Amino acid sequence: MTRVLLESYALLIAGWVPVQFALIAVWSWRRQRAFAWAVWLGFAALPLLLVLSWAIETSRERLIRECRDLARFVEAGDVAAIAARLDDSFRAGEHDADSFTERLRRVLANHQVREASLGFFAVEFPTPNRGVAEVTANARVRGTDLVYEFLTSRWRLTFRRSEAGWTLAAVESLPVPPFNFRGVEDWLR
């Protein structure tokens, strides 16, 4: 229900239309004052629900925003901003936060990531303080010895909620044809 009411304008409107239609149908059949009020309240509810949907950010929306921010930082080559989002217990394959950021800095110095876009999000919360987002990323990558005009990858990002907000606790690469990279280490060469 949260997803319909707070996360998607399209789902909200798609759910509101049949309810409002039913209210109008009942009012036109019964023609009672109470149903007339219900119809007017239904019309008044839509803008209120849209404002609430815009104003409230759910945990799922927050994790998706965190993923988009990280993609933007990779595209900008801003390793310091990425490092600021890493949890103290961060793991990426065999890397801890320090070795990961150092390796990422070297890779991004030799490769340009452009037109990064994310899609096909699957977000779940195994515990209240842990969220896992699986996301597909597409980008153009240019390096000193390679050019990929359309590179697709799939990632599993594990976040941990603390008093400061959500921090990135782990990154895993999921295999996607044709490369089928099995780990973060394959991407950090």
State the average pLDDT over residues 146-165.
Answer: 87
What's the sign of the alpha-carbon dihedral 163, 165, 166, 169?
negative
- CA proximity to 184, closest of 150, 158, 162: 158
- Least confident stretch, 4-18, 43-57, 79-93, 136-150: 4-18
**Residue 95 DSSP symbol:** B
Q: pLDDT tier at 134 (50, 70, 90 boundaries)?
A: very high
The residue to which tokens 């990422």 are assigned: 104
CA 123/CA 64 separation, integer angstroms = 8
CB 143 within 8 A of CB 124: no
Model pTM score: 0.78
- pLDDT exceeds cutoff 80 at 6: no
Cis geometry, peptide bond prior to residue 178 (ω within 30 degrees of 0): yes
- CA proximity to 164, closest of 125, 135, 129, 132: 129
Q: What is the pLDDT of residue 5?
A: 58
- pLDDT exceeds cutoff 90 at 7: no
